[in-house]
């Protein structure tokens, strides 16, 4: 979700056990959303780890997801931090 008042380009790479399974960029207008990837489509055996590498405005964050059996990267919000810098803000959900 782009929560800032300007257009942004977000690059997202999803890795599973060291292999890239998704690598794409998305142009988001203010207040827009984009579905990116469903980790359950790869059907890991529960011991494989996912990571999401998110880049926006030259800021990169990596989120480790232990397994898709009980965790998901629910939302990545694009926000301005206290210094006014546009950054990704991730939310990981566990069941």
50-59: per-residue pLDDT in tens? Answer: 888 889 989 8
Does pLDDT of 95 surpass 70? no
| Tokens, residue 14 | 């999803």
User: Domain-by-domain residue ranges, the chain?
Assistant: 8-94
* Mean pLDDT value across residues 14-24: 89
Mean pLDDT rounded to a whole number for the chain: 80
Higher pLDDT, 83 or 44: 83
**pLDDT score of 24:** 95
pTM of full prediction above 0.95? no
**pLDDT score of 72:** 58
């Amino acid at each position: 979700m782009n929560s800032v008042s300007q257009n942004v380009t977000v690059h997202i790479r999803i890795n599973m056990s060291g292999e890239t399974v998704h690598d794409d960029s998305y142009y988001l207008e203010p207040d827009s959303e984009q579905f990116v990837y469903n980790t359950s489509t790869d059907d890991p055996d529960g011991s494989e780890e996912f990571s999401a590498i998110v880049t926006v405005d030259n800021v990169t964050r990596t989120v480790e997801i232990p397994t898709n059996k009980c965790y998901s990267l629910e939302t990545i919000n694009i926000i301005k931090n206290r210094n006014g810098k546009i950054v990704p803000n991730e939310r990981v959900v566990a069941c």
